[in-house]
Structure 1
């Protein structure tokens, strides 16, 4: 239905163009209409590594400018669903770190370089971006190897605007306050620089934010500083350098609601009660392993109802109560501290009609976290990359083209410490109506216990890998036909060891080393048809590393030779530039196959297919509309060896007789044999927004944005799983501009809609995160 409607709309637009003899709208008029920054102002190299407008690029991709982020009130990657099809992201424990595209986790890039993994570690700081590009599919060969599915490329704010340097100093100061104690300050300044033949500029941006949260007990804060500098040095030389430092505290991971039942989702009826069998004997405020007992609180399910365990039984306060969406799983001991540092430097030289460029990139992550149901972690990783490339236009008779060749070397080293193998954890043990107590807060390795009774780092993975690659890409055009093809070869060397205290599989402390090489390639064919339409087809095969949360490779994967995985994409679509470019859009149909890595390092194959539609219509100088919609279906290829926690009812035990511990499948295939549909990803997600920008008056200018996002239902994957209902959320914003002053108001979830987001990973069948209710914020900005 979505595909039929989209095709009809695009063809109708083309017919309208022909009927009106393709009446052209002057480019200046089109730009004047684009007050919300919906149109791409300059070609992008993000998709293929060659300069080409996204609307002429034969791949599904979206562009989001800083102006669009501001007008739509986009603050986190969760909000990108408003402007990009296929971008629904389930809850990675409430922290929006990485975008999900086409039903799988996407990768984060900074100016075309892949960053260290960020799976719910810290929020990606979108307000610091000049633009973001969302590519659905594998990265260009220039960027390095990566899985199909997608990526988000972050471009920092810069002194270069539409390929020109600033001509005068510019800047802005911003103060924001909002609901739940939000306080935010941001400032930016851009300075032109000219000395003799040297022309360029420097741009600095900083922000600090402190707040409470819709969720009681969560108090996030962060600070960010960013600097970029670009110079044309004369004689064909150019130089760019910069970086970003980010510090976050309090973005704790929470699964939301535990003791998940359909009654809890439907009307908020929560099962209460506590177990008193286990006690905090030493009075330190938490359960240490010696107080829990051998084997922890995980009971494996092997097809028959487990024997009763007194520690699992709720023996006091059993009943029901109504639970507020603001009450989630949290304790005073929960924390998450993150620091990142990113730096880059480019030096370029024009050589004839082409350009030679040498680029350096560095990214580092340090994170320590603890979630009191029993998951501590410490991640430390850093990556360096050197990339050299030569790009040039060329012609072969009537064929016009451009191409790029080059080489890259990427080195990673990091540590991932976690504790869960000992089974000292239970999500359902806490009664959320009572809050955290000493008998449902588990010990962690960050605190020292006398006599060695405390929890240790049960896994301690030290990983080092190197990727040396060569790449080439070309784009050929002839009479409206365009062929874009590229590929790369990567030679890998991986070393990994686990020196934890509870290691399954690999020998603790032993280095596992392997090396191999593999190819990645893609080819696309497009045709600039009459009427402003451009049909295209794309095929890609990719090879990429299986990385953990710190960006390393687990020794068990090296030992089993499963650390490198293949993926493929087949896509067909049509892009449109209609009505003199005031109506633009794209329609894509895809099939993909790729892998995903579970918490217990099980590599699972997935197959996905879907349809995506994106439309942006500048209806007049005052009014614009956008639509982003996707239909998708993702299947997990069985047998699925992932470790998952399941509710007591799934093993034949009532909630009150099982919530004190946890039941688990050591392989999901024990309950869900063969292939199955990933119902945790919604089948359909659609967003429709309108943007109004009033004419400039003597008193100033005003405008607003209003839209709705609808998400279809989701549910867990085991038989009888709880169903999270479909929902529609309305958001809006308004602004008033007077001279250099600007006042802005944003309201998210305008009608305070009650909804739920599925939780990723092992707790997907036993927890759900309540959606954030109505929130507001007002900002006062002063430009100069």
Structure 2
């Protein structure tokens, strides 16, 4: 295969750049800022932490020409963050949808975010398993897709980079964190769900240190009446070896098991349900063509813990990874970094409402980067040149062929919602697959049933030049090659040949301009065109398209185009960080069934972090945005009209229109600029924490979101809503105690599921006021 000429410069740079006039000084590196009176380990201010996971080299946030929010180790620990919904409120443009009750990854700028680990992209995890916090000590939230060094994954709204816990050479240290459960005074059941985390680090010698962290969790949940469990076992290990001043080897590995399922939430969303908690009871008739319209029997106030998760539903996930980062510093002006990452995932899930998935995901990636600093034409320059090889093997069996969801009454006291047993006349049998469960072939328009393999080599070149002492230009180029093959595992059973292979190349680039008029101020402009791959939503396997079973070559050229300008400031002697960014971003969005649509989002983002001393800190961010689909026809399960699911004169407001039949997959919208669903045009988040000199303290955080459209025709919506949380704590030298008061004002808030596919079918409730707590011991 002949390399495109535009990439030859990348290859040549590997050999040429080290030979140029290298300088002994770090010409473009800015030391992290220091806040007097605040030790680094107690700082929540992003100014005190450098990051190499935005453009590839270690930079302070003022030197980074992208919109990024940094959650430091102190902020992570102080706020007790251990979930997606908890950390995403510390970034503008970020929010977490219900995602069938399984918030595995946040949304950024109107689309799903990718997940990285120390700068390497993890396996596809939308609707997968909950991310572990057992091995995490910091988080970078980058709004917009990855740079030329990292490339883009399946999702290009942005990405979350998890920074793993590092061993400490300062001496032995052990931290134990224990949680007991949740007390719910009104509105639902209290429950016992105990967890313990034991985190230990120590040096072996001056050159070698290790860290090991174990977390175990088990017990009931708020949805215990439906049989929902939350059990986990998790072990993390890290090793840092510095044989000399020029070489560093950082290794981490983790294995985790969990059984947290898709809770699904409440079906039949409508405005009476959202505004007044009124649920229309009754079930559908079992017709040969499928479940018929809902025959309403009455109304009830929906219980807080109502869920379509049925007693006997099943979920199980095992995930393991290993990563080695090797750094070789040949001189102050030249170093090589190699990152190797491998991950294996096994997920099983079965919901009696008729959704099942058995997924195997194996991923391996190796990236080598040459970091060079030199002078050219009298100006300091730096470059990152390198290559990546990534391999993904996916095997997934999926069944949603008989899934309707609207036909069940979520208030049924049996708490069993079994499609096969309750609707035998309309049940279409599948093919026997793993563990004796039924699944459906790719050839039956279920692209999530597939066996696929993907090789993705890439070359990249990123060049940073100081045009003046205050103005610098960063240019990144990347060429990706995709060698893909896929087949339907049920070819023999169906007799339909359904397989294909494809070779595709795609080019991406970014241009960033950074102006530093002073040491405490920066302004930047970014333009980026990134090509991303497209995979199915059950593990990211290659999609074979209906009806010919072919791979669409454009699935590897999904364009994300970003224009962004921003400003960042360090104020009040580095005690206050503020930032603002304006952006316009277009990209592709994928849903269940392989449906792909284009979206555009534009807006203004503001953020601030204030910490005058170690005992007081506050955060605030605001998002003002607008977004919609572009000339697209998103598919909605249940169709575009929620009233068509009810018999004439029945249902919400007596608006039912069915005369006895119902086609839940028909009556879809035509092409158009439809609204994004579960998308607020205004998001406001704030938090504050204060500790007295005697160790006692209090904190509070609040989130406010504006109106959200429920389905494409806006037949129902989630109004503007807020949630207020508070905490009381005590901190001593060797131990601390924290008590959280969540949803203090008992708001009956709702979460959209996050996509058009389920917009007419599902919605999720916020839990009522509840009290949780944890204790930490330090040795």
The two structures have a TM-score, normalised by structure 2, of 0.85
Q: Does 1:322 align with 2:304?
A: no
Q: Go from structure 1 to structure 2 and tell me whether the alpha carbon gap of 1:433 and 1:495 turns closer, same or farther (over 3 Å shift).
A: same
**Aligned equivalent of 2:672, options 671, 674, 682:** 674
The alpha-carbon distance between structure 1 residues 648 and 711, as it changes in their structure 2 partners (threshold 3 A), is closer
Distance 1:31 1:559, change over 3 A: same
Structure 2 residue 87 is the aligned partner of structure 1 residue 80: yes
Question: Conserved in 1, the CA contact under 8 Å of 2:314 and 2:351?
Answer: yes
1:468 and 2:457 aligned: yes
Contact 2:268/2:760, CA 8 A, preserved across alignment: no
Residue 256 of structure 1 is matched in structure 2 by: 265
Unpaired runs of 5+ residues, structure 2, are 1-31, 183-190, 422-426, 443-448
2:389 aligned partner: 409
Q: Provide closer, same or farther for how the CA distance between residues 728 and 145 of structure 1 changes in structure 2, counting only shifts above 3 A.
A: closer
Task: Give the counterpart of 2:249 among 239, 242, 258.
Answer: 239
Q: 1:200 aligns with which of 193, 204, 208?
A: 208
Alpha-carbon distance, 1:652 to partner = 7.8
Give distance in 2, aligned partners of 1:172 and 1:33.
Answer: 18
How many residues align? The count is 710
How far apart, in 2, do the equivalents of 1:659 and 1:733 lie? 54
Task: Output the CA distance in 1 between the equivalents of 2:322 and 2:314.
Answer: 27
CA separation of 1:440/1:628 partners in 2, compared to 1, >3 Å: closer, same or farther? same
Label 1:342 to 1:34 Cα distance change in 2 as closer, same or farther (>3 A): closer
C-alpha spacing 1:556/1:104, structure 2 compared with 1 (3 Å):
same
- Describe the superposition over 1:505-548 as per-residue Cα deviations: whole angstroms up to 9, x where unpaired: xx944321111111111111111124832111000000111022
CA distance in 2, matches of 1:644, 1:142: 38
Query: Over residues 471-498 of structure 1, what are the superposed CA-to-partner deviations in whole Å (9 max), with x where a residue is unaligned?
Result: 1112223311121221211111111122
Name the SS for the 1:562 alignment partner: helix
Asked if the contact 1:404/1:472 (under 8 Å) is kept, the reply is yes
Q: Distance in 1 between matches of 2:437 and 2:731?
A: 58
Which among 312, 316, 327 is matched to residue 333 of structure 1? Answer: 312
Give the direction of change, closer, same or farther, for the CA distance of 1:458–1:325 in structure 2 (3 Å limit): farther
More displaced stretch, 93-102 vs 531-540: 531-540
- Match of 2:591? 598
Cα-Cα RMSD: 3.0
**Cα distance in 2, alignment partners of residues 555 and 579 from structure 1:** 57
Contact 1:682–1:713 (CA under 8 A) maintained in structure 2: yes
1:214 paired residue number: 222
2:478 equivalent in structure 1 = 488
| 1:100 CA drift (Å) | 0.7
The Cα of 1:653 is off from its aligned counterpart by 4.4
Compared CA separation, residues 567 and 454, structure 1 to 2 (3 A): closer
**Partner of residue 148 from structure 1, selected from 156, 159, 172:** 156
CA gap of 1:679–1:312, structure 2 versus 1, over 3 A, is closer
In the alignment, is residue 426 of structure 1 matched against residue 370 of structure 2?
Answer: no
Please say if 1:224 is aligned against 2:234: yes
Deviations 1:305-342 (A, max 9, x none): xxxxxx4453xx81111111211212112221111111
Query: What secondary structure does 1:676 align onto?
Result: coil
Secondary structure of the corresponding residue to residue 118 of structure 1: coil
Measure the CA separation in 1 of the matches of 2:90 and 2:366. 33
1:91-126 residue CA offsets vs partner (Å, 9 max, x unmatched) = 111111011100000101111111111112211123
Give the corresponding residue for 2:664: 664
* 2:186 counterpart residue number: none
SS of the residue corresponding to residue 737 of structure 2 reads strand
Number of the residue aligned with 1:538: 526
2 CA distance for matches of 1:26 and 1:524? 23
Shift of 1:735: 2.1
1:457 counterpart residue number: 440
Is 1:539–1:570's contact at 8 Å kept on the other side of the alignment?
yes
Following superposition, the deviation at residue 183 of structure 1 comes to 0.8
Structure 2 CA distance for aligned equivalents of residues 119 and 453 of structure 1: 25
Could you say which residue in structure 2 is the equivalent of 1:15?
Answer: none
| Compared CA separation, residues 438 and 65, structure 1 to 2 (3 A) | closer
Aligned to 1:14: none
2:545 pairs, out of 556, 561, 570, with 556
Query: 1:72: Cα distance to partner?
Result: 2.2
Distance 2:173 2:469 in 1: 44
Of residues 95, 99, 123 in structure 1, which corresponds to 2:106?
A: 99
Q: 3-state DSSP class of the match of 2:554? A: coil
CA distance in 2, matches of 1:513, 1:782: 55
Task: Sort the Cα spacing of 1:777 and 1:447 in 2 relative to 1 into closer, same or farther, 3 A.
Answer: farther
How far does residue 456 in structure 1 lie from its aligned partner after superposition?
3.5
SS in 2 for 1:563: helix
For the 8 Å contact 1:445–1:456, the answer to whether it is kept is no
